[in-house]
Structure 1
Amino acid sequence: MAAEIENGKTLSPEQIAEAEKYKNEANEYFKNKVYEKAIEFYSKAIEIDSSNAVYYANRSLANLRTELFGYALNDAVSAVKSDPSYLKAYYRRAAAHMSLGKFKLALSDFEVVSKRRPNDADAKKKFVECNKIVKKMAFERAINVDRPEKTLAEMYQSLESISIEDDYTGPKLSNEETVTLEFMKELMQWYKDQKKLHKKYAYKILYDIDAYLRKQPSLVDIAIPDEGKFTVCGDIHGQFYDLLNIFEKNGLPSETNPYLFNGDFVDRGSFSVECIFLLFGFKLLFPNHFYLSRGNHESINMNQMYGFTGEVTAKYSSTMADMFTQVYNFLPLCHLLNNKVLVMHGGLFSSDEVTLDDLRNVERNRQPPEEGIMCELLWSDPQPQNGRSPSKRGVGCQFGPDVTENFLKKNNLEYVIRSHEVKDMGYEVAHNGKCITVFSAPNYCDTMGNKGAYIILKGKDMKPQYEVYEAVPHPNVKPMMYANSLMNLIM
């Protein structure tokens, strides 16, 4: 049977068969979690038959799995347009909207499906779950209007008198004491043995790090001595045992072994609590030799969807989850190394006029906006071609080699380091060596098969050296275990 395509031409049986062949090959890649190849073959099918809703819906899901939320949304919209009766297309559009924190739009798609299939228990369940999220968010907004938000210090005042049970044998701090190296070593082993830091000390670390971060600028200047070593790590995403492996390979943080972790410490991986307390602890121990940049996942929408909020609530309390939201708002947005190298989580900007002073002046105490400098620092990605393009993620922008070159020239810089994207070798050098990506979560989500990497710099020449490593075993706790239940249903 022939099929009509958008330009009015009729596809031959051979063309239909070829498109289906590409789709079936893509399906196999998808089953084997080789998502980039799946996207490639779905695209080949779409090139032949651009009116097939199934091809768009399938590619939408593959784009979701690789966090290309903008592309996923575009594909879902195309699927709905191609066949408004194809209900899976509405699920895909809902998933893309949820990934972007647009829960009301997701709810309208679930409503379409539940109305068309009133007896479908699965459709009803998804509608009900999404409706709960929307109502909860509306309720929280309403009570926040009527009730002044407590500062983290005020929250902590009611918690610092917590007693320590007699049977607790883990790491301890006195009320007056900040973290020590001995405490940090004990904590690493305690977490490695899958035990929980007592809530009294967890709350204290949060209180202390909040007090410190509030005094920091949005852009932090770092001086690296000529003979000094400096390590830059990318996304960790709750992969605690891989974080320990970095310290095993590269040495513990110290005044002679400084680190910068470049955002996305949490979410997806189910040991995010362990990761963040370890990182915050080392920041308190070595404030001038251990640095943390905010990533796009240090935000409330991402945390609610991808697991961190659920994990904190399960291991501690919803109050602590609220505390983290406040702390994340004060994380610096970028770091300048030896006045030569700018490090940020996402990337560059939709304007050629952005200067380092603009970055210093960003008001960061907020949730990431959907546009502007702060948004782009957290969300943007490089592209191989010159110019700029709409973001494949639906937030931020994509920027080409010319954009990077112009920014570096304007600000008298040598290159930029960013993270934010999975890379097969854990790193990628782009834009004529001027834009480097580093990603430090190997075998991301236990599915991607990528290596992890970190970058070592020496102050005298700032030439990057790349250390690549494989994932290490971890306890049988699956990624996304604490993610929003609806996200697991539709992904």
Structure 2
Amino acid sequence: MGCNSSSSVGVKKSTQAIRAAMIIQNWYRGYSARLKIRQRYALTIFQSIEYAGEQCQLQLSNFFSFLLENYANMQENDPALVNRLFGCTPHDKVRQDYIGLIEVPESYSGPRLRFPLNSTALPTLIEAFKKQEILHAYYVLVVLFETKEVLKQMPNIVRIRTGPTKDITVCGDLHGQLEDLLLIFSKNGLPSGYNSYVFNGDFVDRGKNSIEILMILFVSFLLYGDDLCLNRGNHEDFLMNIRYGFTKEVLSKYKIHGKKILEVLEEVFSWLPLCTIIDDEILIMHGGISESTDLNLLHKIERHKMKSVLIPPIPLEGDSAADFKKNKARKTQGMRINGSPDEHLSKQEWEQVTDLLWSDPRGKRGCYPNTSRGGGCYFGPDVTANFLSKYHMKLLIRSHECKPEGYDISHDGKVVTVFSASNYYEEGSNRGAYVRVGFNTTLQFFQYQVTNATCLRPLHQRVNTIESSAIRILKERIISRKTDLIHAFQLQDHNKSGKISMGQWAFSMENVLGLNLPWRSLSSHLVLTNEDGYIDYMSCFNDIHIQKPVKEVQSAVIETLYRYRSDLQIIFNVVDSDHSGLISMEEFHSMWKLFSSHYHVYIEDSQVDELAKRMDLNKDGSIDFNEFLKAFYVVHKLDKTEQPNTDPA
């Protein structure tokens, strides 16, 4: 009897332990699921704001089209601006003019390259970059000229084959994150005749080591060109580089010869192939396709004419704006400026390349405008299936979108997205990945994450960090539209109580900001809600404001300049062709006139002029426009220190 009693007690304890374990397990699963949801919402914020930034960037194409409509006056009043915008300077830079007078001093302690390159060049370069050494401008320019000459001999669509003992590794966006590239090489081996790679665009921008990545990739290409392919991405574009950091990086690292490097890079980028085909079965492009994507046409396009997606096809000299609009679909023969011919793609060709670099797959059938990015299209599974059937292929591999796990498979397994920049938005936000294509189209996926000390923190701490960063940039977006948001809230607030329902608040936020976010779920981070569920809409702006360089200026003016600061900076950098960082008051006034008339931004000239004069600290008649824009930054009251805002896109 004692035995039976003891046994029953043991069973009871065991049952209780199992129940306790199940309760703990269920709690942890729920806890982990909630953390994952928070992480997903944070990534959605990052991506929505990133795409909104790209949408603004592509809308500059409309601005440049507006300039074309005023082309006759522009050519007469500012031929230098026309030359800079529309590529009217000679395409082929003369090598000797760029590197002939540059010497590498004996005191230079960085890596030295010998030409023609040998197999020691790549490991030498990598070891130097690990030590944060800067490659001398002479070597950079020689590598760029050598790369351009080889690229000019390549077709738009490169074909490469696997073999029984030869796999091909496909890498997605790197965005200047050198640590990710080095980690890939550590795991997968350096490029060689036995280790083939396809790098699928977006090598530059956002990260701090874009020029180092380019040098590694270009040196690898010069050494192993038959086994290393470089596709063009939407960020291999000089106007994108102005907005997203690469131009600034080059000018910072190469203060004397930076302008030369950027000019040659503009040409190198234009010669990058558009896509790669493996074994006649797998098409690799940066963005995607559309229902009108035509490989036969893409094969014939003179790709080097596409200097930037933001520069549309232009009319011949003497064509009126009306004639150009009427005949936009025709192939332009180029225009002549000061007797120097310059060629451009036709509208159809331009759209083919834009779709290839900017499009994204979606689950909805058909092909429709990519409203998030503002360029390219969304293409559905039926578009993919029809395209693959037409060209007798099996698979599309593309990049262009950050994925939490570094890769994603969609359209019934027919579209693979691979993204190789880990921690893209914030440390711990996503993994990077690459895909290895084997003989007979077998795929292997490899994930990784560059691990710093903070990545070792518990999941909840990492999610808190990612979430806080996402909410921060979202609030900056909110404050830039403060006047518009208040107007929208007040339209909903019929009783003038300062409070509206959750539905009214969410509708107003989406209507003004257009970010397609789960506003109800995010409301607890953004506004105060009373016990009845009504929102105090002015609490959106409680802990954040835009720094005002001039106290007397209206808030609406400050918000407008803050909202368009990136666009203004791009236009300024185009005007500032010598990259001096200075612009005359007259140039600034002319630039603002063009910008405000096209964007329908109604601000009194006197207010803008007053701001510019305040920034002309030494009263020499010119302003440092970059400093002018830095004067407008968001102040978070909860920050320990006030720091200038960085564009998250």
Q: TM-score, normalised by structure 1?
A: 0.70
1:321 to 259, 262, 277: 262
- 1:25-40 correspondence to structure 2 within 5 Å: 34-38=41-45
- 1:28-427 correspondence to structure 2 within 5 Å: 34-38=41-45, 64-69=48-53, 97-98=56-57, 100-101=59-60, 104=63, 140-144=80-84, 149-174=89-114, 177-316=115-254, 317-351=258-292, 354-365=293-304, 366-369=306-309, 372-391=351-370, 392-427=372-407
Deviation string, structure 1 residues 232-257 (Cα, Å, up to 9, x no partner): 00000000111111000000101010
Which residue identity does 2:361 align to in structure 1? P
Q: State how far apart, in whole Å, the 2-side matches of 1:334 and 1:273 are.
A: 22
Residues 236-245 or 315-324, more deviating: 315-324
Which residue identity does 1:159 align to in structure 2? I
Structure 1 partner of 2:588: none
Deviation string, structure 1 residues 407-439 (Cα, Å, up to 9, x no partner): 000000001100000001100000000010000
1:446 equivalent to 2:385? Answer no
The higher radius of gyration belongs to 2
36 and 241 in structure 1: CA distance in 2 versus 1, 3 angstrom threshold: closer
1:457 to 437, 443, 455: 437
Deviation string, structure 1 residues 112-149 (Cα, Å, up to 9, x no partner): xxxxxxxxxxxxxxxxxxxxxx9xxx775334599962
Give the alignment's Cα RMSD to 1 decimal: 3.2
State whether residues 93 and 264 of structure 2, in contact with CA within 8 Å, keep that contact through their aligned partners in structure 1. Answer: no
What is the CA-CA distance between 1:162 and the residue it aligns to?
1.9
2:450 to 453, 471, 483: 471
State whether residues 344 and 377 of structure 1, in contact with CA within 8 Å, keep that contact through their aligned partners in structure 2. Answer: yes
State whether residues 238 and 308 of structure 2, in contact with CA within 8 Å, keep that contact through their aligned partners in structure 1. Answer: no
Q: State how far apart, in whole Å, the 2-side matches of 1:102 and 1:151 are.
A: 21
What is the CA-CA distance between 1:406 and the residue it aligns to?
0.2
Which residue identity does 2:281 align to in structure 1? K
State whether residues 355 and 411 of structure 1, in contact with CA within 8 Å, keep that contact through their aligned partners in structure 2. Answer: no
156 and 448 in structure 1: CA distance in 2 versus 1, 3 angstrom threshold: farther
State whether residues 160 and 200 of structure 1, in contact with CA within 8 Å, keep that contact through their aligned partners in structure 2. Answer: no
State whether residues 237 and 267 of structure 1, in contact with CA within 8 Å, keep that contact through their aligned partners in structure 2. Answer: yes
Deviation string, structure 1 residues 242-275 (Cα, Å, up to 9, x no partner): 1111000000101010100000000000111111
Deviation string, structure 1 residues 289-312 (Cα, Å, up to 9, x no partner): 111000000001210100111111
What is the CA-CA distance between 1:457 and the residue it aligns to?
1.1
Q: State how far apart, in whole Å, the 2-side matches of 1:458 and 1:490 are.
A: 40
What is the CA-CA distance between 1:362 and the residue it aligns to?
2.2
Structure 2 partner of 1:79: none
Structure 1 partner of 2:457: none
State whether residues 268 and 445 of structure 1, in contact with CA within 8 Å, keep that contact through their aligned partners in structure 2. Answer: no
What is the CA-CA distance between 1:168 and the residue it aligns to?
1.7
Give me the identity figure in percent.
Answer: 35
Q: Give SS of 1:446's match.
A: coil
68 and 489 in structure 1: CA distance in 2 versus 1, 3 angstrom threshold: closer
Q: Give SS of 1:209's match.
A: helix
State whether residues 201 and 231 of structure 2, in contact with CA within 8 Å, keep that contact through their aligned partners in structure 1. Answer: yes
State whether residues 63 and 69 of structure 1, in contact with CA within 8 Å, keep that contact through their aligned partners in structure 2. Answer: no
Q: State how far apart, in whole Å, the 2-side matches of 1:216 and 1:355 are.
A: 19
Q: State how far apart, in whole Å, the 2-side matches of 1:180 and 1:100 are.
A: 45
Residues 374-383 or 165-174, more deviating: 165-174
Q: State how far apart, in whole Å, the 1-side matches of 2:212 and 2:85 are.
A: 33
Q: State how far apart, in whole Å, the 2-side matches of 1:436 and 1:253 are.
A: 22
Residues 438-447 or 248-257, more deviating: 438-447
State whether residues 180 and 421 of structure 2, in contact with CA within 8 Å, keep that contact through their aligned partners in structure 1. Answer: yes
98 and 342 in structure 1: CA distance in 2 versus 1, 3 angstrom threshold: closer
381 and 314 in structure 1: CA distance in 2 versus 1, 3 angstrom threshold: same
Aligned length: 375
Q: Give SS of 2:194's match.
A: coil
State whether residues 245 and 472 of structure 1, in contact with CA within 8 Å, keep that contact through their aligned partners in structure 2. Answer: no
33 and 416 in structure 1: CA distance in 2 versus 1, 3 angstrom threshold: closer
Structure 2 partner of 1:6: none
Deviation string, structure 1 residues 31-61 (Cα, Å, up to 9, x no partner): 98943455xxxxxxxxxxxxxxxxxxxxxxx
State whether residues 258 and 289 of structure 1, in contact with CA within 8 Å, keep that contact through their aligned partners in structure 2. Answer: yes
388 and 189 in structure 1: CA distance in 2 versus 1, 3 angstrom threshold: same
Q: State how far apart, in whole Å, the 2-side matches of 1:435 and 1:147 are.
A: 36
- Structure 1: 5+ residue runs without aligned partners? 1-27, 39-61, 71-95, 108-133, 475-481
State whether residues 160 and 204 of structure 1, in contact with CA within 8 Å, keep that contact through their aligned partners in structure 2. Answer: no
Q: State how far apart, in whole Å, the 2-side matches of 1:158 and 1:319 are.
A: 7
Q: State how far apart, in whole Å, the 1-side matches of 2:87 and 2:172 are.
A: 38
Q: Give SS of 1:444's match.
A: coil
Q: Give SS of 1:287's match.
A: helix
146 and 202 in structure 1: CA distance in 2 versus 1, 3 angstrom threshold: closer
253 and 297 in structure 1: CA distance in 2 versus 1, 3 angstrom threshold: same
Which residue identity does 1:170 align to in structure 2? G
State whether residues 58 and 375 of structure 2, in contact with CA within 8 Å, keep that contact through their aligned partners in structure 1. Answer: no
Q: State how far apart, in whole Å, the 2-side matches of 1:194 and 1:471 are.
A: 17
Structure 2 partner of 1:93: none
State whether residues 290 and 359 of structure 2, in contact with CA within 8 Å, keep that contact through their aligned partners in structure 1. Answer: yes
Q: State how far apart, in whole Å, the 2-side matches of 1:236 and 1:140 are.
A: 34
State whether residues 198 and 229 of structure 2, in contact with CA within 8 Å, keep that contact through their aligned partners in structure 1. Answer: yes
Q: Give SS of 1:358's match.
A: helix
Deviation string, structure 1 residues 68-119 (Cα, Å, up to 9, x no partner): 457xxxxxxxxxxxxxxxxxxxxxxxxx5346435959x9xxxxxxxxxxxx
What is the CA-CA distance between 1:363 and the residue it aligns to?
2.3
Q: State how far apart, in whole Å, the 2-side matches of 1:146 and 1:437 are.
A: 33
What is the CA-CA distance between 1:198 and the residue it aligns to?
1.1
